[in-house]
Amino acid sequence: MLTPASEQAERIATLTNYFFVAAAAILLVVTLLTIIFLVKYRAKPGDNTLPPKIFRSRKAELFIVGIPLALVSFFFVLTLRDMRALEPGADTQHPDVIITGHQWWWQADYPGTGVVAANEIHLPVGRKVLMRLRSADVIHDWWVPELGNKMDLIPGRSNHLWLTIRKPGVYEGACSEFCGQQHAWMRIRVVAQTESEYKAWLAAHAAPAIAPAGELAQRGATVFQEKTCGNCHRIAGTEAKGDAGPDLTHLSSRKTLLAGLMDNTAPNLGRWLNHPQQIKPGAYMPDFLLKPSEREALVAYLVQLK
Ligand SMILES: [Cu+2]
């Protein structure tokens, strides 16, 4: 949060720094005054008179009420100013990306391009990007600390977030609203790219899945159909059109599986297909009790989906 990488996160970090400075100054003044009073007004040997009582000191009251009031007002105005700057405003008709929270993964649709991605969200740097956030089930919360504020994903309504990312890189985040058993494995990877890299990524991902090459992969495509995987998963260019699970059209281009749970490798894919409930207990994918030969064919098919 304190190493901001977007215009919005910079505002939040600056405001946080102001708060730190003010809080540190108050701590210092109070500590100093306490020490000074302790030394100056301590009981002196032989002096048994009580100190005088002072009633209604206008000066002290003004001081005690005035300074905190001034500080609170100052931060109130600054906070309102930044909240306004972060607010997308009325013009939210044309989001660059629509994020849908699912138990327990993220779907990313890029309107007008036909691109659907999951868990690894590619965004361009250097310009204002509008994100629409919604939920397919329960309340989730988007938070990538280096990129700015949190935003809830609430069933039945759309929320919006502006992002102006400063420099290319990978920014990690996580779901920040407890959403069930695998809430901890609902990580976010934002891949921020230059405009030309981003355009190239969009173009590559708008293409349908490449046809399986080789006998094993072809068998895998058949198993995929037979086992009704396509009821929940989409593979563009095939019969598979489901959206209850992540889009698999370009699965192999992702670095991780299952919203950050493990690296995207062939052995890990095999482990997941073997017993999904042992890898991510509670995840909404049933155990298909696959035969080793079926699993092998499926993995051969899936790793080709670049
Ligand atoms: Cu969640």
pLDDT in tens, 214-257: 999 999 999 999 999 999 999 999 989 998 999 999 999 999 99
Domains and CATH numbers, the chain: 97-202 (2.60.40.420), 215-302 (2.60.40.420)
DSSP alpha helix (H) spans, 137-281: 195-206, 215-226, 266-274, 276-279
In the chain, what percentage of residues exceed pLDDT 70? 100
Rounded to the nearest whole angstrom, what is the distance from the C-alpha of residue 83 to the centroid of ligand 1?
24
DSSP alpha helix (H) spans, the chain: 7-40, 58-86, 195-206, 215-226, 266-274, 276-279, 292-302
Rounded to the nearest whole angstrom, what is the distance from the C-alpha of residue 143 to the centroid of ligand 1?
10
In this predicted structure, the answer to whether residue 288 has a pLDDT above a threshold of 80 is: yes
Rounded to the nearest whole angstrom, what is the distance from the C-alpha of residue 152 to the centroid of ligand 1?
9
3-state secondary structure of 146: helix
Contact 202, 210 (CB under 8 A): no
Residue 195 main-chain phi, psi, to 5 deg? -55, -40
**DSSP string of 27-81?**
HHHHHHHHHHHHHHTSPPTT--PPPPP----HHHHHHHHHHHHHHHHHHHHHHHH
Confidence of residue 47 (pLDDT cuts 50, 70, 90): confident
Rounded to the nearest whole angstrom, what is the distance from the C-alpha of residue 13 to the centroid of ligand 1?
25
Confidence of residue 39 (pLDDT cuts 50, 70, 90): very high
* Intra-chain end-to-end CA distance of the chain, in Å: 33
The Cβ of residue 262 has, within 10 Å, a number of other Cβ atoms equal to 16
Provide mean pLDDT across the span 58-70.
Answer: 91
Provide mean pLDDT across the span 45-57.
Answer: 83
Rounded to the nearest whole angstrom, what is the distance from the C-alpha of residue 131 to the centroid of ligand 1?
17
Q: Strands (DSSP E) along 119-174, which ranges?
A: 120-124, 128-135, 140-142, 151-153, 159-164, 169-174
Rounded to the nearest whole angstrom, what is the distance from the C-alpha of residue 62 to the centroid of ligand 1?
49
Rounded to the nearest whole angstrom, what is the distance from the C-alpha of residue 137 to the centroid of ligand 1?
9
Rounded to the nearest whole angstrom, what is the distance from the C-alpha of residue 239 to the centroid of ligand 1?
29
Provide mean pLDDT across the span 13-17.
Answer: 94
Rounded to the nearest whole angstrom, what is the distance from the C-alpha of residue 180 to the centroid of ligand 1?
7
**1 vs 153: which has the higher pLDDT:** 153
Rounded to the nearest whole angstrom, what is the distance from the C-alpha of residue 154 to the centroid of ligand 1?
10
Confidence of residue 44 (pLDDT cuts 50, 70, 90): confident
Q: Model's pTM, two decimal places?
A: 0.88
Confidence of residue 116 (pLDDT cuts 50, 70, 90): very high
Provide mean pLDDT across the span 105-132.
Answer: 94
Rounded to the nearest whole angstrom, what is the distance from the C-alpha of residue 67 to the centroid of ligand 1?
42
C-alpha 95: how far from chain center? 17
Rounded to the nearest whole angstrom, what is the distance from the C-alpha of residue 37 to the centroid of ligand 1?
52
* Residue carrying the six token digits 């988007």: 142
Q: pLDDT at position 147, please?
A: 94
Rounded to the nearest whole angstrom, what is the distance from the C-alpha of residue 103 to the centroid of ligand 1?
6
d(CA 302, CA 306): 9
Mean pLDDT of the chain: 93
Rounded to the nearest whole angstrom, what is the distance from the C-alpha of residue 240 to the centroid of ligand 1?
25
In this predicted structure, the answer to whether residue 45 has a pLDDT above a threshold of 90 is: no
Rounded to the nearest whole angstrom, what is the distance from the C-alpha of residue 139 to the centroid of ligand 1?
7
Q: pLDDT at position 184, please?
A: 95
Angle, CA of 33, 36 and 39, to the nearest 5°: 145
Rounded to the nearest whole angstrom, what is the distance from the C-alpha of residue 304 to the centroid of ligand 1?
29
Rounded to the nearest whole angstrom, what is the distance from the C-alpha of residue 108 to the centroid of ligand 1?
14
* Residue carrying the six token digits 């989001």: 95
Provide mean pLDDT across the span 40-64.
Answer: 85
Rounded to the nearest whole angstrom, what is the distance from the C-alpha of residue 283 to the centroid of ligand 1?
12
Q: pLDDT at position 50, please?
A: 83
Show the tokens assigned to 106: 């993220």
Could you give the count of Cα atoms lying within 13 Å of 87 in the half-sphere of its Cβ?
A: 8
Provide mean pLDDT across the span 170-199.
Answer: 96
Rounded to the nearest whole angstrom, what is the distance from the C-alpha of residue 117 to the centroid of ligand 1?
17
Confidence of residue 270 (pLDDT cuts 50, 70, 90): very high
d(CA 275, CA 254): 21
Residue 173 main-chain phi, psi, to 5 deg? -150, -175
Rounded to the nearest whole angstrom, what is the distance from the C-alpha of residue 79 to the centroid of ligand 1?
27
